Amino acid sequence: MKKNFTLVLLALLFGLSLTACTTDTPANEPAEPTPANEEPNEVAAEPTEPADVDAEPMEATAVPEPTAVPTEEPAAEAPTTNLTDGCVENYDASVDYFPEKASVGHADGFTVAYFNNYKVITVAAPWLGAADSATYVLVQCGTPAPEGFDDAVTIEVPVTSFVSMSTTYLPYLDQFGVLDTLVGVDFGFYAYNPTVQEMLAAGELVELGSGTTVNVEAALELEPDVIMTSASGSADFDTHPKLEEVGLTVVLNADYLDITPLGRAEWGKFIATFYNKEAQAEALFNEVASEYEALVTLAADVTERPSVFANTPFEGTWYMPGGQSYTAQLFDVAGADYLWGDDESTSTLFLDFETVFDRAAEGDFWLNQGFVTTLADLEATDERFADFAAFQNGALYNYDLRSNEFGGNDFFESAAANPHWVLADLIKIFHPDLLPDHEFVYYRLVE
């Protein structure tokens, strides 16, 4: 039952536009103060209001564009790359210590403003409906912290120890080559990454749990530079309040609130800022975006669009992705007609079996069944499932191709970072002639 409930939460979050995993009361002052006489080197796009957020986050303070030519000759030689290992030994206030910067063009949930020796990260809404933003001041180690950010969380970078309270952060740590800084996770059995499983088996990672029962003592013993988690705004489920109470440094990641595939994938840059790995994050994201957009173009002119619906009911409720949700957008650009595409919601629809059957009985494809291995397994849970045309025609696909013996499912781990792989799988399902040589990454035919 726990496994099924976990899946519903995961599928619900991924299918809505949301993919959360656990977690800090953000700073009450969302503005990005600009210290006197100091100008940022670069500012990412201003935050916009995340979908379905009731309270509008405060806008970040506007900052001027950088000057093309420095007014003073730096006393120290300016670096040409970010310092990703070690600290500044000879600080010079006139030197830009972040020559490699992140630009944010797809994600709505966070912004980055650069100054010579620190950067200001603003999470517009740390959870759905949050009234205030969260601000993090990342200071290059070996340099002084700026004044004027009393309500922000200040962190020296690059960080050297990291606790990941969501599997969705792990792919980025792996891509940036910093998995060796991982010292803790929430639950090890959620992880698919083979290296992470090896670290767990070797006793190199501590499992902290989550929510109000998080192991605070174990977290204190780790003394991590950062504990990254997500938040729901509910004291009954969030992890971050307990950790913050004892003075641990918690960062709230709201990637699940970005409902576009590229917007969610761009949160890798958010994680990269804590490691000064912006250059690598930019290159990786540009490659993902390029492949994703090429696939969108490939499927844009299909003349026949099969119909599709998703998920299965849990305890009498069918959690169907909203018509404008993350999942619905992927179905659309893959060349399929989502049967709830006329719905305006970006979140989840709570439907009964009869409502779904009335609309989807003749649907061409049925995706994302969850913990279902075979058609027989599905029918055994409810014999009415066999009445759907997609069942009778053998057109069911599940996202569990990459799963391990511990229960880890890579779809819930790396798919958000790699929407181009998800899209390629979907195009292969709906229009196999467009990608004849593609091998499935996440999906498989349920037989």
Q: 423 lies in a domain? A: yes
Angle at 130 between CA 127 and CA 133, to 5 degrees: 90
Q: 58 lies in a domain? A: no
Question: How, if at all, do strands 182-185 and 162-164 pair?
Answer: parallel
Q: Can you tell me which residue has the tokens 């290296």?
A: 195
Q: 177 lies in a domain? A: no
pLDDT for the residue numbered 21 = 39
- The per-residue pLDDT for range 70-109, each reduced to its tens digit, is 445 555 688 999 999 999 999 999 999 999 999 999 999 9
3-state secondary structure of 173: helix
Q: ω into residue 158 within 30 of 0, thus cis?
A: yes
Mean pLDDT rounded to a whole number for the chain: 88
pLDDT for the residue numbered 40 = 54
Cβ atoms 14, 412 nearer than 8 A: yes
Q: 6 lies in a domain? A: no
Number of domains, the chain: 1
User: Phi, psi (5° rounding) for residue 365?
Assistant: -130, 145
Structural domain range at position 416 = 289-445
Lowest-confidence region among 70-74, 355-359, 391-395, 420-424: 70-74
Average pLDDT of the segment spanning 39-51 = 44
67 pLDDT above the threshold of 80: no
Lowest-confidence region among 74-88, 239-253, 393-407: 74-88
Task: For residue 426, give the CATH number of its domain.
Answer: 3.40.50.1980
57 pLDDT above the threshold of 70: no
Q: 115 lies in a domain? A: no
pLDDT for the residue numbered 77 = 83
E strands of 92-201, at which residues? Answer: 110-114, 118-123, 134-140, 153-157, 162-164, 182-185
Task: Kindly report the pTM of this predicted structure.
Answer: 0.84
pLDDT for the residue numbered 18 = 38
Q: 199 lies in a domain? A: no
49 pLDDT above the threshold of 80: no
Q: 124 lies in a domain? A: no
23 pLDDT above the threshold of 60: no
Distances 405 to 192, 370, 400, 415 between C-alpha atoms, Å: 9, 16, 12, 19
Measure the CA–CA gap between 314 and 377, rounded to whole angstroms.
Answer: 15
